[in-house]
Structure 1
Amino acid sequence: MNETNSGYGLWGLVIVNSLVFIVFAFSFFKPATKRDWRTFGGFSAFVVALFAEMYGFPLTIYLLSGWLQVRFPQANLLAHDSGHLWWMLTGRHGNPHFGFPHLVSIALLLGGFYLLSTAWHVLYEAQRNNRLATAGPYARIRHPQYVAFVVIMFGFLLQWPTLVTLVMFPILVFMYVRLAKQEERESEHRFGQVWCDHAALTPRFIPRLWGKDAVHVH
């Protein structure tokens, strides 16, 4: 591996970027229960692992260095741009920040945080009035906050894939599915037929693009 112009070892950036995204997500999600903290904790671990490789130590590049050096002999694997693996593996040239995967990742990150924020405001009002959240994004899917976290993490994977986050992603998705099902059991017990009517018309994670909208239960 060519060690000139290394883009790593910047642990201050690891800390700053991790805190920015974790605090940003916290301001929208505001965990209150143990389930909320598990949801937020998994997301936070994903973010820290991501930025540790993005600016700290390039574990994925190191583990794949032999294969990458053979396939891309002229590449400086320790340059920051080399961490955009989707860009490099497809043989692209130029600035990867203007590449299709990076632009899509930005759109997913913005969309995910917007969904997280919108869902929290609806959920907060519903909890304050002791009723089921069925407005806004909850009129389309039953668990918009879990979906938001998955969308954000997928956006990060498109932007900067690492072996650690690629392993963590399906594990966290599985964890969120389990937490969602647990939340549904509790909601059914608490709200009874109101919950059943809402669940019958509202998909769990993937919104319907056609057909009847979910009813708004007030």
Structure 2
Amino acid sequence: MNGVGDGHGLWSLVLLNTCVFVGFAYSFFKPTTSRDWKVFGAYSTFIAALFAEVYGYPLTMLLFHGWLTARVEDADLFGHEARHFWSLLMRNHSNPDPHTGALRFLSFATVLAGFVLLAMAWHVLHLAQRRDRVAATGPYRSIRHPQYVALALIMLGLLLHWPTLPTLLGLPLLLAMYLRLAISEERELTREFGEAWRGYAAMTPRFIPALCGGHRRHAE
């Protein structure tokens, strides 16, 4: 289709999958501020770019066609198999099934964990905002920015199953942007809540939870 095989040019699937992943995340993230929209907009752009290549136009396959043709024997680089890049590279060695392999389950588990964390974080943050207090319960007990971590997990999980060159290059840039936005948000929270926020931030990691010790119960 469109000169790149029947596995691509499926723009209706691009739209459907983009709407599902963006819409589902929106139902929990619910952006309101300009910062929220930047965070959510970056995530939405990533999702759209990913599915545009997975089902639309196979840019990565075109760029690496010569290298992959020499490396992978008898593979349809523009068909369904090409969507599962890691399985395609391992094809000559173990012939893994991309639908039942361990990487598929790891991808699914990572995406699911991201959505669950996003839902839990939104509930806690919404309640804290209504009460005009620092969010410090639920996932906020372990990390200061669970919503950013949740979106990163969703994107990472999708890349484990459908790696593409634009999204592989784009993910580090998005994570760097999330870091800058998190630091900016913390400055505002410091001005708004003062010692309450500083005390919470001193005991709680920004993105990666402490694996052992060093975390005390926060004052309600």
Letter in 2 for 1:34: S
Deviation, 1:101, is 1.6
| Deviation, structure 1 residue 201 | 0.6
TM-score normalised per structure 1: 0.95
Query: Which whole-Å CA distance do the structure 2 matches of 1:147 and 1:29 have between them?
Result: 12
Q: Deviations over 1:76-105 (max 9, x none)?
A: 111212221111212341521111222111
Q: Distance in 2 between matches of 1:208 and 1:184?
A: 19
- Length-normalised TM-score, structure 2: 0.95
CA deviation string 1:26-66 (max 9, x = no partner): 00000000000000000000000000011111110111111
Q: Given the alignment of the two structures, is residue 146 of structure 1 paired with residue 133 of structure 2, yes or no?
A: no
User: Deviation at 1:209?
Assistant: 1.4
Say whether the 8 Å CA contact 1:194–1:217 is kept in structure 2. no
How far has the Cα of 1:4 moved from its partner? 8.8
Deviations 1:96-135 (A, max 9, x none): 1111222111000000000001000000000001000000
Q: Identity, % of aligned pairs?
A: 52
Tell whether the 8 Å contact from 1:132 to 1:217 is kept in structure 2 after alignment. Answer: no
Q: Secondary structure at the match of 2:99?
A: helix
CA distance in 1, matches of 2:216, 2:82: 45
Aligned partner of 2:23 in structure 1 is 23
Contact 2:90 2:96 in 1 (8 A): no
Corresponding position of 2:36: 36
- Tell me, in whole angstroms, the C-alpha distance in 1 between the residues paired with 2:206 and 2:111: 21
TM alignment of 1:62-81, pairs within 5 A:
62-81=62-81
Aligned residue type for 2:120: T
Runs of 5+ consecutive residues of structure 2 not aligned to the other structure: none
User: Structure 1 stretch 33-42 or stretch 61-70: which is displaced more?
Assistant: 61-70
Q: Is the 8 A contact 1:14 1:55 kept in 2?
A: yes
Distance 1:16 1:132 in 2: 37
Quote the Cα distance in structure 2 between the aligned partners of 1:34 and 1:214: 33
Instruction: Return the alpha-carbon distance in structure 2 between the equivalents of residues 34 and 128 of structure 1.
Output: 19
Secondary structure of the corresponding residue to residue 97 of structure 1? coil
Q: Deviating runs (4+, > 3 A) in structure 1?
A: none
Letter in 1 for 2:82: S
CA shift for structure 1 position 143 = 0.3
**Counterpart Cα distance in 2 of 1:34 and 1:4:** 39
After superposing the two structures, state which structure 1 stretch, 147-156 or 120-129, moved more. Answer: 147-156
- Are 1:110 and 2:119 an aligned pair? no
Task: State how far apart, in whole Å, the 2-side matches of 1:182 and 1:214 are.
Answer: 25
Q: Give the RMSD, CA atoms, in angstroms.
A: 1.3
Q: Residue 160 of structure 2 corresponds to which residue in structure 1?
A: 158
Deviation larger for 93-102 or 172-181: 93-102
Q: What's the offset of the Cα at 1:189?
A: 0.8
Distance 2:217 2:190 in 1: 16
How many residue pairs were aligned? 216
